[in-house]
Structure 1
Amino acid sequence: MRLTAAPLRQICGQRRTLATFVERDIVLLRQKLNQDNFILTKPLNPANRISTHKGDISHSDIIGKSPRDLVTSSAGHDYRVHNVTLAEYVSLTRRLVTPIYPADANLIVSLLDLHPSAAHEAGKLEILEAGTGHGALTLHLSRAIHAANSQKPKPLPSPAPDSVGGEPATEDSSGSGQTESDDALTAWKASRKAVIHTIDISPKYSKHAAKVVAGFRHGLYADNVDFHVGDASGWIKSEHERRNSDQPFLTHAFLDLPATHDHLSAVASALKNDGTLIIFNPSITQIVDCVQKIKQQDIPLFLDQTLELGNNGTSGGKPWDLRAVKPRAAPKVQSGEESSDCVQSSGSEEPEKQDQNITRDPAQTLTEAKPEEPNWTFVCRPKVGERIIGGGFLGVFRKMNNSARP
């Protein structure tokens, strides 16, 4: 069946109406003649205005517009209206601390290898994020697990007063003030198949991060997240007590803390077998401290990989070789011969006359250290010889059973 022009215009008009911006939306404005001049709005409110050096823009002029429509400032400058992406949102929202930028957040989520649809078969998927900060990684994690949870129940409309007593008909008869809507929300939260537990030591940062998460697309991903304030190890201990079990309950964990090594034992106790623990530290030596603590306390974690994050927001993670090792016995050098270092640096001896038992790569004289062995040290170097440009380091660990230690 062919559609005439009139019905086509009606269909296009309906779609355009459905895609328009409404109150409480957050949008991105880009100046038409200068794409680098952009504004992230606050939640749209008809009574508010945006003041810029290019003139004022009323929120009421944006409400009802569709993506890529133009609005004109009071000074006559045109701005194009855009939906704000998650990457733009976490980068441009007001911050109290430095966020984990989108390229790094996407890498971290990828390393966790999340599969929300499998949560229904494998049991509840619970992820700990210790160090909520700005809430940028929280949002990326929540988006990654969102498909595992059913749609949150909508709040019930305000009930009409009871014709007899004048009280709302849906209020709990016990007098607790709990409504049917509250009960439904509580039941839904208990039934979630995937949850992000995010904890920060600062109530101020945690409150701000909760606001950031709730501000993205009317809180689309907010209900997948439970915010906590306190110490990460203390929270894990309290969770074991609340659940009345010492069994592991975390599928994965991410730590962005000043003294990460102090929390490794507690996190390992809560991490399920083969669960991933990712730690972020500004310095490679802090990753070394964690490996050292694992060796010293025999914590059931092993280092899967070490990655350096780029400071230009485009790095996919530069691999480092970081291992706890024990030196082998040094090779014997015949009396009268120069040491291997001297032979290699002088260039005076023919290659075929050099001792073939002397290894030029020091890493080849090292074996993997066991926890009970003394005098172990570390290999710590980039895996390639390129110039180092760093924005921090990720240590990716795996939980292992005591019986499955390498």
Structure 2
Amino acid sequence: METLSRSQGERAGENQRRAEIGLAGEQLRLRLHNAKLIKDRCQDTRTYPNCLVGKELVDWLVEHSEAPDRATAVSIIQRLMDYNVVHHVCDEHVAFKDARLLYRFRNDDGTLSPSKQVKICVRGHRLYEMITSQEGSILQVREQGSERYRRTFHGRQILDWLLDHGEVSSREEGVKLCRELLEYGIIQHVSGHQHFSDSEMLFQFTINFQRRRKLIEVLSEPDPFMDPKQESPDSPFCLRKLSSDLPPNSFVCVQHNEPKIVPAPRRCGYHSPGSGSSYTYLSPSVPLMTPPSVLKKPVTVEELLSPGAPYTKKILNIMGDDVGWGFVIRGSGPCHIQAVDPGGPAAAAGMKVCQFIYAVNGNCCLRYDCQTINRLIVAGPRALILEVLEPFSEFAFPQELSLVWG
């Protein structure tokens, strides 16, 4: 079985990153066309087609809660420029400016380089749309080694599909195409460490092309090779009260670093009245302290899955409100519930501290750290489906820790 080297995996991760940013940029481009911000504009007696004004774009991002402030909006567009999605109309400025300068999407003026990366991403997108639009799609939730994965298919299965639909002329050509899709981060083996092969091995689309991207995501730098044993901070999407000095419905993220202003995902922070934004603000005067784990001892995935383990599986349906979902998780795999807001949606759904997260919206997460689970939840719908493993013992839930701190 041919395995991927670390350098190949890193390259695939960066290619996937580029694809995700390209998709976020394309979704933004279409929204701006619908908003009539992109149009022909005149400057210095010359007309530039399909342009937008930098200052107006920043205004739009802030007004539509895509950025908490103008500085963050500038950073978002700068990232799109760095990845060659947006450029100044004359390429005179490499840095995006919050000013009355004209910018254009390369997809609008034909300057988007027809690189192999772009071609593979476009083809992967088309294949994904074709497969998902069919009844009885080959993309299914499947189990392997007691874990469940979304958007999966068997290697032999997708080759059959490609041949049946005339996408390739031979199985050898199909294998080459699938290896290119894997190389550019569009698909991967569910373990993330195997090359594509014409076999019963399980693969999945790593990119959900139909998901609407949050522009704030282009600023994050996920590391797919983070050591799973490395200690992670509490998940930033899970919220708890910090201080009575803050507004009564204000929640904050728990981080190990210095207090600072932190952009939080939508539905996950203090909602400023009338502003339309949902971001978390940490007060510099309030020191952040990471409380000890509520677990009496560390628990491994193997212990949770061992025959006769003292855990029962429960399904929690949590509908997030304007503040968030109302819980804190911790861990580097498996992750556990560290705290629950007694007045939040999670508590109403039956969540308790010390439960272990088994799956998020059908995606097995036992070996994921809390930052990865954060990205899964934020990328999904407001209606969250969590599968948890709950200890049998009633003494496993320390009552004094079943409330959030504050």
Same fold (TM over 0.5): no
Find the structure with the greater CA-based Rg: 1
Q: TM-score, normalised to structure 2's length?
A: 0.22
Normalized per residue, the structure richer in strand is 1
Q: TM-score, normalised to structure 1's length?
A: 0.22
